Amino acid sequence: MSERKKITLPALFNKTAAGEPITWLTCYDYPTAYLQEEAGVDMILVGDSLGMTMLGYDSTLPVTMNDMIRHTQAVRRGAPNVFLVGDMPYMSYQPSVETAIRNAGRFMAEAGCDAIKLEGGAEMADRVTGIVHAGIPAIGHLGLTPQSVSALGGFRVQGKGALQAKKIMDDAKALEEAGACAILLEMVPDRVSQLITERAENCLIMSLGSGPHAHGQLLIYHDMFGLYPKFKPKMAKVFGNAGEVILNGLKQYVTEVSDKTFPQRENWFTMKDDEFDELQELLG
């Protein structure tokens, strides 16, 4: 693995001050984390989207803290130097400030996270303050927040109308004032994202489908490489169709085993003649 300095929160703010966009991807496993670290990605989010991309649920809601911790530990082993963010799953912070602090603490102590992310606006400001007062960097998440997808009426752009846009802007300010070090805007119109970014004083604004004006970009890894067949959101550029490459490889494997062209001599292990003769003697 190449030598790389640990990415810290001040390093991310320095990058922003230098006008360089921050790169952020989701990741849920060790080998992908290794590749993302090698590629020079700044931040990794172990998102509760793993419920859909890795565990095959229809939503993120069934994901537990234990699911999150197990995957986050694997990612940390593969990417020791990225700025690692653990995503607080459904009901790991909504019930109370204390629940939020305890679960945020698990991400730090058990999985080696650098920060946690939680969904929601002003109504979650007390959770953010509690977590930050416990010494844990907290990242907010506004716009399309998948844990509330039922209340939001589906996976759709948030803040297209002026009133809703104003509410998202007020929520962003509330989260920043509560101590959030960063806010993710998911599926928010570009101009609203630009206004929030311009008004942020001490908070990194990150975009997922919310335009180019934020301090950095997040993408869902499985969408980038054709690895989640169920749906492809508009914001997800496909950077390579790994899903297709893997499927073709699997079909070829089935064909080659069936027609006995696999395995070939170089694919198996052998035994010396004298050892084999001795074995046959032992067997009588």
Least separation in angstroms between residue 205's CB and ligand KIV is 14
Residue 23 found at the interface with ligand KIV (CB under 6 A): no
**Single-letter code of the amino acid located at 70:** R
Site map (CB under 6 A) of ligand KIV, residues 62-101, x = contact = -------------------------x--------------
Q: Which residues contact 42 (CB under 8 A, 6 or more apart)?
A: 7, 12, 15, 22, 23, 24, 82, 83, 216
By residue count, the chain amounts to: 284
Token look-up 């490489």 returns 225
Residue of 49, 193, 197, 210 interacting with ligand KIV (CB under 6 A):
49
Least separation in angstroms between residue 261's CB and ligand KIV is 41
Nearer to ligand KIV, 3 or 58 (CB): 58
Q: In the numeric block, which tokens belong to residue 88?
A: 């607080």
From residue 106, give the alpha-carbon distance in Å to each of 3, 127, 131.
Answer: 28, 15, 12
Site map (CB under 6 A) of ligand KIV, residues 139-168, x = contact = -------x----------------------
Residue 48 found at the interface with ligand KIV (CB under 6 A): yes
Find, among 140, 127, 134, the residue nearest to 168 by Cα: 140
Least separation in angstroms between residue 273's CB and ligand KIV is 57
Residue 174 found at the interface with ligand KIV (CB under 6 A): no
Nearer to ligand KIV, 19 or 131 (CB): 131
CA distance 132 to 136: 5
Least separation in angstroms between residue 60's CB and ligand KIV is 6
Cis omega (within 30 of 0) for bond into 263 = yes
Residue 42 found at the interface with ligand KIV (CB under 6 A): no
> How many residues lie near ligand KIV (CB under 6 A)?
12
DSSP 8-state secondary structure symbol assigned to residue 40: T
The pair phi, psi for residue 12, each rounded to 5°, is -70, -40
Burial of 263 (0-12, 13-18, 19+ CB in 10 A): exposed
Find, among 184, 191, 234, 183, the residue nearest to 213 by Cα: 191
Q: Is 256 a catalytic residue?
A: no
Residues 20, 186, 256, 266: which is the catalytic one? 186
**Single-letter code of the amino acid located at 201:** E
Nearer to ligand KIV, 54 or 132 (CB): 54
Least separation in angstroms between residue 32's CB and ligand KIV is 13
Residues within window 122-141 making contact with ligand KIV, judged by CB under 6 A: none
Instruction: Yes or no: say if 111 and 86 are a contact pair by the CB < 8 Å rule.
Output: yes
Strands 138-143 and 182-186 turn out to be: parallel
Least separation in angstroms between residue 28's CB and ligand KIV is 9
Token look-up 């694919």 returns 267
Residues within window 178-237 making contact with ligand KIV, judged by CB under 6 A: 184, 186, 208, 220
Residue of 16, 25, 32, 47 interacting with ligand KIV (CB under 6 A):
47
Binding site for ligand KIV (CB under 6 A): 26, 45, 47-49, 60, 87, 146, 184, 186, 208, 220
Active-site residue set: 186
